[in-house]
Chain A
Amino acid sequence: MRTKGWIWSCSFSFLLLCGCAQPKVLEEVGLVTTYGYDISKNGSILGTMVELTIDPASPKDVVILESEALSVRGIRNNANNKTSKRLASGQLRVIIYGEEILKQGRTGIAETLTSDPSISDMTYLAMADGTARDLLKLKTEHIPDIGNHLYKLIDQNTKGRVMPSATLQEVLHNLFSIGKEPILPILKKDGKGEVGFTGVALFKESKLVGKINSDQSFYLNLIIDKYKGGNKDVEIKSSKLKPRNQQLNKTVASLDAVNGSSKIKLINREKVEFDLDVKVDGRLLEVTSMIDLGNQENIKLVEKEITKSIKREIEKLIAYCQSKESDAMGFGEIYRSSVRHSNLTDKRWYKMFKEAKVNVNVDFSVKRTGLNE
């Protein structure tokens, strides 16, 4: 009995020693919620951090820190020299890249960050139109905390399927897979002091090669992911439909509750030919044309026209991606998984993708037309 008690007390005293691990008291830690990475003039990395301070006495909740270093980790360490609180990145929500740093192909920053266990794989990545520093320095009346604002903005739009989802896990996943390239949403600060989603950045390997606008990003989303519950205005070019807006001479059909799914199939191995079947349906709420939607034939006509215009847009998007050699849709992945012993490499796929033929088939149907007919 005595020896047992001895063992107990001994093991308990050692458990107390576990207090030797560095404690992180909330008041003494500066939580970095957003990182921004740019390239400085001499080629080193310029980091901008949004630090959230928990201090009831301080009037400001956020502090913007800047530092320059050669390594990604060095940025945080250098910034630490300037703060009264130890910086911790466990609450990191968003990472913003400047445009320049991506043009130089330094996406590898993300890879470095994942080797730090305190950073979550669900962190959002985005690209700033211009420099990340300018974007993070934005401060207006209705945006007191830019870090939180960006996080909420990206989170809301990603869940609402307006923006393509670009979490650390997804970007790295596509960066490291052969035959699929990552994409990043582009955030832009406009003159009035607002931030908005303006487009999607396309990559070749880790280099930024092209951009598409937010309108085309809908079609990209449609191909990449299962699409559920979004809104979209589709422009119709048809002689049969007379536009209401005579001035612009454009007809627009407004869709709501859009559901979409797509399927890519390799149909010719030698010539690399794909079938892309896109299935879309949704509610037709508005057509800016003098047309009676109560008439079944008119609905059919609108359906046909919308199908045509979706098809046109997707073909345009694919042609653009091909011209930039950026396979954001993952055709290469399909090729690799359906051809045995293809030994596909990124370099070979870029060439093949450029010459690949994609047959787009769109199947669009109007589910209903809302409350009115």
Chain B
Amino acid sequence: MKVQYQAKPQYILSTFILFFIIHSIQVGIGIQGFQRIIFSEAKNDSWISVVLAGVFTHIVVFFIIKTLQLYGPTDIYGIHIEVYGKWIGKAVNCIYIFYCLGMFVVILNNYIEVIQTWVFPTVPTWLFSISILLLVVYGVTGGIRVIAGAGFFSIILSVWILSFIGYPLRFVDFHHLLPVMESNITSILKGSYKMTITLIGFEILYIVYPFMEDRKKVIKYAHLGVAATNILYLILMLLTLSYFSPGQLENTNWPTLSLFKIVKLPFIERTEYVAVSYWLLIILPNLLLYMWAAVRGIKRSFERKTKGVIWFFTIFLFFVSIFINTRSKINQFNDFFDNIAFYIAFCYPFILYILALIKKKMTSLKEN
């Protein structure tokens, strides 16, 4: 297979779409309940953890783009083959594909858990799983342009949820944020580490990069996307910290959704039901993009037809998702992937960049 990949003209995307892709894949399941997990480490300084994690994400994104720029139009699968050689490269690609599928399961199961807890306690997991998976199959067969469109509309159509922030503002007590820097630096860093599962998604850059129209502008839009996510998380964190008291926050599984519990509109009494159901639109781009990334991995490394691969993955994911059906199993799975995601999404880009740099130097030396 070739290292470089020139996308066909009909699949090329405008670069500004990258902003929507990055933002929509980052915001998804983590946003519903990240506050509690971070609070358990960093206490009232949790917002500092959010800022630190956000800054770190910008650095990682910077290195991801640096790596990609070394090769021109290519994706991570091509880089792997180039850096590690044919066989090891393919093996590493497989790990990456499994990582994408794992993230898919994490998102799917967490969402099903949320919808079962809040709205439909009696509807079985398999029913949700199969309906969402079929939707994903439909989207992924449509190709990258359909998926990017889904990301764009998911953001545009869910902006209204932000307006609900005004309601909890009436009950905030900013004394909860004081005194600043009471937690020591280790617990703040631990809190940042716990942001992993909420922040990841930006590594999709590795795969959508060759589809961008103007690759010089990628830096700008990728960072804008990440910055939008960070600002959103920071606002939510500050709001949550000042709205809930510490004891309350420790007991709330999904603080973001609980914030909506007090929103009361004249025509609809319980807005969080709408929000929970509407969340499908927010997580759909995540599912589509991860599935698409995995399918692209197979296509690039093994040169298979995509249709069969999509169905194979769908059936596989369906069975995995119905086995992980209780809160404790979901938590175990989350924690497991939290660790993996930290190494793959946050640490690996640095290693890959160094390896790619060395490889590049060596080839240029050989040529001379």
Contact = CB atoms under 8 A, between A and B. Distances in A.
Contacts of A122: 261-262, 264
Interface string A171-190: 01111111010000000000
Contacts of B118: 117
Interface stretch (B16-24, B171-179, B189-197): B171-179
B127 A17 contact: yes
A120 B262 contact: yes
Contacts of A25: none
A176 B247 CA distance: 5
Nearest to A180: B245
Interface residues of B, number: 36
Interface string A280-313: 0000000000000000000000000000000000
A8 B261 CA distance: 35
B135 A339 contact: no
A241 to B, nearest CB: 40
B258 A121 contact: yes
A337 B245 contact: no
Given A11-B135, A121-B261, A334 B246 contact: no
A7 B123 contact: no
A173 B248 contact: yes
Interface residues of A, number: 39
Task: Name the residue among A14, A15, A117, A167 with the largest chain B CB count within 10 angstroms.
Answer: A117
A340 B269 contact: no
Interface string A250-279: 000000000000000000000000000000
Contact of A178 (B135, B171, B246): B246
A176 B248 CA distance: 6
B134 A11 contact: yes
B182 A341 contact: yes
A120 B272 CA distance: 10
Given A14-B127, A14-B131, A176 B245 contact: yes
Given A18-B127, A21-B122, A176 B179 contact: no
A270 B177 CA distance: 22
A170 interface: yes
A371 interface: no
B248 A172 contact: yes
A338 interface: yes
A178 B249 CA distance: 13
Contact of B246 (A22, A167, A170, A177): A177
B178 A337 contact: yes
A31 to B, nearest CB: 12
A120 B134 contact: no
B130 interface: yes
Contacts of A333: 173, 175
Contacts of A91: 269
Contacts of A170: 171
A216 interface: no
Interface string B244-276: 111110010000001001101000011010000
A173 B243 CA distance: 8
B137 interface: yes
A15 B131 contact: yes
Task: Name the residue among B118, B248, B251, B272 with the largest chain A CB count within 10 angstroms.
Answer: B248
Interface in A93-119: 111, 117-118
A223 B138 CA distance: 59
A174 B261 contact: no
Contact of B127 (A20, A22, A178, A336): A20
Contacts of B246: 176-178
Contact of A174 (B122, B175, B245): B245
Given A337-B175, A338-B179, A21 B123 contact: yes
Nearest to B247: A176
B117 interface: yes
A369 to B, nearest CB: 33
B262 A169 contact: yes
A349 to B, nearest CB: 14
A196 interface: no
Report the 8 A-B pairs with minimum CB-CB distance, sorted nearest first: A176-B247, A177-B245, A337-B178, A121-B261, A11-B134, A176-B248, A337-B175, A176-B245
Interface of A: 7-8, 10-11, 14-15, 17-18, 20-22, 90-91, 111, 117-118, 120-122, 167, 169-170, 172-178, 180, 330, 333-334, 336-341
Given A17-B127, A173-B245, 14 more contacts: A10-B134, A14-B131, A21-B120, A111-B251, A169-B262, A173-B171, A173-B173, A173-B244, A176-B246, A176-B247, A337-B176, A337-B177, A337-B179, A338-B178
17 contacts: A18-B123, A22-B122, A111-B251, A120-B270, A121-B261, A169-B171, A172-B248, A173-B171, A173-B244, A177-B176, A177-B245, A178-B246, A180-B245, A333-B175, A334-B175, A337-B177, A337-B178
